[in-house]
A = this chain, B = another copy of it.
Amino acid sequence: MIYTSEAIESVIESLSALPTIGRKTAQRLTLHLLRQPKEDVEKLANALLTMKEKVRYCSQCCNLTESDPCNVCTSAKRNRSLICVVEDPSDLFAIERTNEYFGLYHVLHGALNPLDGIGPNELKIKELLLRLDEGHTGESAQEIILAMNPNVEGEVTTQYLVKLLKPLGVKVSRLARGIPMGSDLEFADEATVSRALQGRVEA
């Protein structure tokens, strides 16, 4: 046995099961935690337990929340005629950080990926359609913004949702593609420049 304590081994094992954390990093983190005050480690452990116990999906937007419906869905300041559809909660956080979007959200929890066995039933698409059913919710979304990631799975999901939503008579839009702010035209890849050209707007 290399480690002189099973408790240490057990923490290293659990940490190295996390993505991007290998065994060496897990060992380093564990030794760091051992040097920290007891309260700090207890805080982390209790935060993990609390989070796992309290956090669930919002019954309306499927985002992670402690209270159902979530803060965004219940907020009076939100524009209820706009719904932004994202793949994951982290995408929602990215949009919230702009402080420029004040509509509602819908989290799909993934993107269509037939090779990995992820079809429409694996995503929260049924829940989205239910929200658009006015008779059911008493609300009416005027515009759906599709904010999928700019990769193959995201594109496929976008196309699928456009086909599904357009017939419902709701306006469907998608995020603009173009040169990112602060970058150089010189170093942008061809696909990005091509999309920026196609999507050019009047100056």
Contact = CB atoms under 8 A, between A and B. Distances in A.
Give the interface centre of A32, A55, A96 by most chain B CB atoms within 10 Å. A55
Interface string A67-87: 000111000000000000000
B2 A64 contact: no
**Chain A, interface SS category:** helix
Contact of A19 (B1, B27, B29, B70): B29
Given A2-B96, A47-B14, A93-B27, A55 B19 contact: no
Given A2-B93, A2-B96, A30 B7 contact: no
Number of copies: 2
Nearest to A73: B4
Contact of A55 (B5, B32, B43, B89): B5
Nearest to A19: B32
A58 B3 CA distance: 13
Contact of A47 (B2, B10, B20): B10
Contacts of A190: none
Interface in A31-61: 31-34, 38, 40-52, 54-55, 58
A19 B26 CA distance: 11
A88 to B, nearest CB: 7
Tier of interface size on chain A: 35 or more
A51 B8 contact: yes
Nearest to A66: B5
A65 interface: yes
B48 A11 contact: yes
Contacts of A93: 2-3, 27
A33 B52 contact: yes
23 contacts: A2-B97, A3-B93, A4-B63, A4-B64, A4-B66, A5-B65, A8-B55, A10-B47, A11-B44, A11-B51, A14-B40, A15-B44, A18-B29, A18-B32, A18-B33, A20-B28, A31-B64, A34-B64, A38-B52, A41-B48, A41-B49, A42-B48, A45-B46
